[in-house]
Amino acid sequence: EADIYQTPRYLVIGTGKKITLECSQTMGHDKMYWYQQDPGMELHLIHYSYGVNSTEKGDLSSESTVSRIRTEHFPLTLESARPSHTSQYLCASSEYAGSRDTQYFGPGTRLTVL
């Protein structure tokens, strides 16, 4: 079982603020992901990374940005938060293990922008 951590768990901020959602994993996994989960429960991939200095955009267009300077760390940043960014954000990681690639998820950050 992978250990993957997200902070903060809950965040309420005002419009226009810059925020960073933290995600860290201790399993040495190469691949990391950010998902946005809407109130209808559907999960949308917004960013992923194959490894250090690699970042890619996912299926859902997002105004957020990510960085991958260290293997264990994959923070997500919103330069200017808006109410439309209110959502649950889930981070995940996986080993680069061929067709048995299993993703392990963190507990999530619930973001509310007022």
Q: Residues 36-66, buried b or exposed e (16+ Cβ, 10 A)?
A: beeeeeebebbbbbeeeeebeebeeebebeb
Task: State the nearest-atom distance from the C-beta of 42 to another protein, in Å.
Answer: 5
CA–centroid distance for 58 within its chain: 11
Task: State the nearest-atom distance from the C-beta of 109 to another protein, in Å.
Answer: 10
Task: Name the token pair of 25.
Answer: 């994993």
Of the pair 41, 69, the CB lying nearest another protein is at 41
Task: Name the token pair of 11.
Answer: 């965040």
Of the pair 20, 102, the CB lying nearest another protein is at 102
Q: Footprint of another protein on this chain (CB under 8 A)?
A: 6, 31, 33, 40-43, 45, 48, 58, 90, 92, 94, 96, 98-108, 110
Task: Name the token pair of 29.
Answer: 């996994």
Of the pair 3, 79, the CB lying nearest another protein is at 3
Task: State the nearest-atom distance from the C-beta of 24 to another protein, in Å.
Answer: 14
